[in-house]
Structure 1
Amino acid sequence: MRDMAATQLRDRVAGHTAARRGPFWTIPRRDALVGYLLISPQLAGSVLFVLLPLALVGWYSLQEWNVLAGTFDFVGGANYAKLLADPKMGEVLTSTTLFSIGLVVLNLALALLLAILLNQKLAGTTFFRTLFFSPVLVSLVAWTIVWQFLLQGDGGINGLLGAVGVDGPNWLRGDATALLSVVVVQVIKNVGLNMVLFLAALQGVPRQLYEAAELDGANAWVRFLRITVPLISPTILLTSIITVVGSLQVFAQIAVLTQGGPGMSTTVLVYYLYQQAFQFRHFGYGATLSVLLFLIVAALTLVQWRMRRKWVFHES
């Protein structure tokens, strides 16, 4: 009898405890489970295709991997020491810097200019918006091959220059023109994307602000600096980050147009990484260059993000 009473007492206490706790599958818990299930594919993709490859690249940078010999030896920081002593790294970083600066400045300036022009209420703006955006949709390799033929010594560009009496150079084989040619080809290919982003931002600027500034005597340049630039500064930040990161990842254009030449004038960091890893079979050193590229991209993105409070509207 005593055991039965004790059992009933325990059951009664457990029942009261469960009643106080309530059901386990409450509405918030069910909503949380649904949320986790919805983000799980994206989370799994990020882990498998972003975080895991990053970790593997870091691990490979500590190895000497010879695919032909079938060896995979741990060398510690030897690849990083090789990076610091690489005599070609100065030229590679110089080419990368010049290419990125030229691409970012020309792309953003031209995109903003086109967006301002196409934001006017004039006939034919829809046609020109489509015209300038259409290269974004063209296959990158096809676009680059076409420009390779146009920029040759006897190509279409020099044919047009010859028609007006100008003797054009072989654009892709000159030290002074090869890098500029690649930059221009890339700018024309992708300027339409930033143009559309700027155009959307410009259309969100209230017209009343321009009208009030005009009544106060502000000219077009002052209205642009004091109204347009501050109000579209979030879009400027977005496009600058996208363009800077994209400029450091350009590979196909270099591979098709110049193969890094003449000399090292167009050998940017991504193409040098490709050469070391897949042409010379130095996979460990190639992974080390990948780590360097990642650090550069991360540092530039972080700097731009930190500086946003000083010039981006609504971020102060």
Structure 2
Amino acid sequence: MKQRDHLVGYLFVAPQLIGSVVFVFVPLGLVVWYSLHEWNVLADSFSFVGTENYAALVDDPRLPGVLRATGLFSVGLVVVNLGLALLLAVLLNQRLRGTIVFRTLFFSPVVVSLVAWTIVWGFLLQDDGGINGLLRLTGIDGPNWLRGDGTAMGAVVLVQVFKNVGLNMVLFLAALQGVPAQLYEAATIDGAGAWTRFRRITLPMISPTVLLTSIITVVGSLQVFAQIAVLTQGGPGTSTTVLVYYLYQQAFQFHHFGYGSALSVLLFAIVLVLTLVQWRMRRRWVLDET
């Protein structure tokens, strides 16, 4: 009976385990292996070079700018997305008429195709697009949002925020609805204002959800590709060339598959470190984690 129970348990976890091995661990191992080689598909050559590709990371003059653009995009996306999602969740958690309609409107972009969403916003943000058309009605001459050094990154960040803010909003909304109303009633009787109740009750009670959404958003911000490829192609110049788009250029446009694999390992290391840092810091601000 004990062996049969173990067998049943292994059968239940087998699909997930096999999928993880085939689609996660094996590709990750192959990427590390390829990063130790110089692979030229056009010349049909595959030679071992050791750590030369990693040494090239240190000497790459474009990499600091790429990392800077990646950091700007990630910080902008995380701050605006989480802040806006929490604000919308607090507003929609009120007992007001029409909140179901607004929840649907804010969440609907999440289920829209990413490429289709990005293409539509690409037309809207052109020099003669819909956004500038609306601004001209008010007498404002808008810039070319996707071609200006000072506007391209902000435009890409906002497109991504509007696409995924609904997901974090729903998660925050579910967490807010789980906060006991008695806590707010007791705080109100004690004379606590709205901001004090939010800071002392709401944020601590939903802190596990804040941790979850922050990890998801940070990881997602470091993996952005389609928005850059469709909207700016890394321009103007290299101002929006984030790490994923740069490794795509190296591997699939310049055919430096070994160096592209080394960039992939660098991306994996950055994601791993940031996730571990957030996970360790949870003990300081997440409720019941101390």
TM-score range, shorter chain: over 0.9
- In structure 2, stretches of 5+ residues that fail to align are none
Matched residue type, 1:181: A
Matched residue type, 2:99: T
Find 1:49's aligned residue among 2, 20, 23.
Answer: 23
Find 1:91's aligned residue among 41, 52, 65.
Answer: 65
Find the counterpart in structure 1 of residue 221 from structure 2.
Answer: 247
Secondary structure at the aligned position of 1:127 is classed as: helix
1:178, distance to aligned residue in structure 2 (A): 0.2
TM-score normalised by length of structure 2:
1.00
1:194, distance to aligned residue in structure 2 (A): 0.1
Q: How does 1:1-316 map to 2 (within 5 A)?
A: 27-316=1-290
Superposed CA RMSD in Å reads: 0.4
Q: Could you give the per-residue CA deviations for residues 25-78 of structure 1, whole angstroms, max 9, x where no partner exists?
A: xx2211111111111111111111100001000000000000000000000010
After TM superposition, where is structure 1 displaced by more than 6 Å over at least 4 residues in a row? none
CA distance in 2, matches of 1:41, 1:118: 39
Matched residue type, 2:221: S
Secondary structure at the aligned position of 2:206 is classed as: helix
Q: Percent identity of the aligned residues? A: 76
Find the counterpart in structure 2 of residue 20 from structure 1.
Answer: none
Q: Which has the larger radius of gyration?
A: 1
CA distance in 2, matches of 1:266, 1:37: 46
CA distance in 1, matches of 2:117, 2:146: 15
CA distance in 2, matches of 1:96, 1:145: 21
1:291, distance to aligned residue in structure 2 (A): 0.1
Q: Could you give the per-residue CA deviations for residues 138-196 of structure 1, whole angstroms, max 9, x where no partner exists?
A: 00000000000000000000000000010000000000000000000000000000000
- In structure 1, stretches of 5+ residues that fail to align are 1-26
Matched residue type, 1:32: H
CA distance in 1, matches of 2:141, 2:55: 47
